Amino acid sequence: MSKYHLYLIHAKELTKNPEKSFLFILVLNKTNFARNTHISRRLKINILQGWGIYMKICIIGAGAQGSVIAKILAEDPEIDKVVLTDINTQLLQRVAKKIDNSKLSTERVDASNADDLAKVLKGTDVVINAALTYFNLPIFNSALKHGANYVDLAENWPLRESFLENLKTSDKWQKAGLTAVKSQGITPGITNVLARYAADQLDKVEEIHIKSGWKNSEEGKLVPTWSPGWSVEMALLMWTADPIVYENGEYKTYPPFSGVENHVFPEPMGPRTLALVEHDEAVTLPHFIGKGVKYVDFKESIDIIAGILINLGLAGMEAIEVKGVNVKPLDVLLKLAKPAIEEIEEMEETPEFQKLRGEEVFSCNVAQVIGEKAGKKVEHYVYLNTSISDMREWMRRYGTTNGWVPIPAAVTAIMLAKGEIQAKGVISPECLEPEPFMRKLSEMGIGNFQLITKKQVAG
């Protein structure tokens, strides 16, 4: 999209005088045009739609991720309309009041209902699926049907089977000139892009290790509560699944909480105990990276409280009898647990969080890629630190400390709407060009990418 555009407008529409009907020529910067108070919003929309540069983005799901994505997009001067949807109208009202932006509208939508999806996706440039992964397929299919590019935040279970099922439709997306970006957030998402960045510098790739180290905001508490900071259901169930590891051309599975290692992250994160977790990177990276990759795994800081809840049977989805009533243990836990959006807001007000020093690192996400360059064995270790200072900057800009997933998802949607992502079809984040994407992330508050290790390994 060029910086300047030519608009031809009937003067009667500007002056509201039907007697005058000559052509009025404007050459304006799009952002200034959008801010022009002398032209009605309806007329602006008609003009911009006519020139194919009116950007409308729809978000399905108004929870901890979708609400922040909506705020980021509504405040972007190049996005003209943001539609935030959810089945919970009270949540929509609360989020809309907090965002308080005239570009934002809300709509009650049942994400499993094709008619509901159709009414908000028609005429949409990009749909961001921030709902539970159970709704991925209906939203994905509706986006293709109604001509919208698509972004989601994670794959549904079972991961590999769901991913392969989506890939079968890639030709249809390509023929429609559309892009569906699967699993875009911090991890999966940014970690995939870091792996691609490192792989691009190698002639051959042998191993990819994705590692995610986290500090809990309640680590200093004597008796902490469990607050994963995103979907409570998904955060628990991912630890019940058998982790996938790609080995020598095959996808293999291992028991939950296996593959334990003590990994020393760059300071100030330092050592963290990690374990294998079923995660999207181990499924998609072998497919898209190529270059002879033989091994891919994903490990994350062990969530001990999640493990305790699982061992107690509270992740169970089969009904049990309690005093004559059949209940599912997971339903009971989800009923008692606070929604992530409330947990985050409460955490931001706690004395423990307020006392944290700005330079303290809250997370460190790593792509460790081993391969060959010019016949020599090389290891690239690319990482992204997120500090308390970063989180406070997100609070200043976006009104929340929760920027890990919303920022990369919003960046991807903006790039799709502006035609800056050339790849068509069904893709994963590693298919994006790393440097433009990481540059945009830095502009929006996620930065400090570092390549700290580039060494020849013996052999």
User: Are 38 and 20 in the same domain?
Assistant: yes
User: Are 74 and 203 in the same domain?
Assistant: no
| DSSP codes joined into one string, 34-50 | HH-TTS-HHHHHHHHHH
Q: Is residue 171 part of a domain?
A: no
- What pLDDT is attached to residue 356? 62
By residue range, what is the domain housing residue 144? Answer: 56-152
Rg of the Cα trace of the chain? 23
Q: Is residue 318 part of a domain?
A: yes
- What pLDDT is attached to residue 20? 38
Contacts of residue 115, Cβ cutoff 8 Å, sequence gap at least 6: none
What is the signed CA dihedral for 437, 443, 448, 452, rounded to 10 degrees? Answer: 40
Q: Is residue 428 part of a domain?
A: no
The count of domains in the chain is: 3
User: Are 25 and 69 in the same domain?
Assistant: no
Beta-carbon neighbour count of residue 451 at 10 Å? Answer: 14
How far separated are the first and last CA of the chain, in Å rounded?
49
Q: Is residue 107 part of a domain?
A: yes
Give the pair of three-digit tokens for residue 13. 């529409």
Domain with residue 125: its CATH number is 3.40.50.720
User: Are 332 and 362 in the same domain?
Assistant: yes
CA distance 83 to 80: 10
Q: Is residue 412 part of a domain?
A: no
CA distance 126 to 181: 11
Q: Is 83 in contact with 125 (CB distance < 8 Å)?
A: no
CA distance 144 to 170: 10
Tens-level pLDDT at each residue, the chain (459 residues)? 333 334 344 333 444 444 433 434 444 444 444 444 455 544 544 554 444 457 999 999 999 999 999 999 999 999 999 999 999 999 999 999 999 999 999 999 999 999 999 999 999 999 999 999 999 999 999 999 999 999 999 999 999 999 999 999 999 999 999 999 999 999 999 999 999 999 999 999 999 999 999 986 556 667 777 877 778 888 899 999 999 999 999 999 999 999 999 999 998 899 999 999 999 999 999 999 999 999 999 999 999 999 999 999 999 999 999 999 999 999 999 999 888 777 777 766 766 666 666 567 789 999 999 999 999 999 999 999 998 888 888 988 998 889 999 999 999 999 999 999 999 999 999 999 999 999 999 999 986 788 765 665 554
Q: Is residue 240 part of a domain?
A: yes
User: Are 256 and 362 in the same domain?
Assistant: yes
3-state secondary structure of 219: coil
Q: Is residue 84 part of a domain?
A: yes
What is the signed CA dihedral for 399, 403, 407, 410, rounded to 10 degrees? Answer: -60
Global pTM? 0.86
| Helix 281-289 with 190-199: angle, nearest 10 deg | 30
Q: Is 51 in contact with 33 (CB distance < 8 Å)?
A: no
Give the CA count within 13 Å in the CB-facing half-sphere of 89.
2
Name the DSSP letter for residue 242: P
User: Are 245 and 230 in the same domain?
Assistant: yes
Q: Is residue 25 part of a domain?
A: yes
User: Are 67 and 41 in the same domain?
Assistant: no
H helices of 29-154, in order, are: 30-35, 41-50, 66-74, 89-99, 114-121, 136-145
Q: Is 227 in contact with 64 (CB distance < 8 Å)?
A: no
CA distance 325 to 208: 48
Domain with residue 242: its CATH number is 3.30.360.10
User: Are 134 and 209 in the same domain?
Assistant: no
User: Are 200 and 311 in the same domain?
Assistant: yes
User: Are 313 and 371 in the same domain?
Assistant: yes
User: Are 357 and 248 in the same domain?
Assistant: yes
User: Are 146 and 261 in the same domain?
Assistant: no
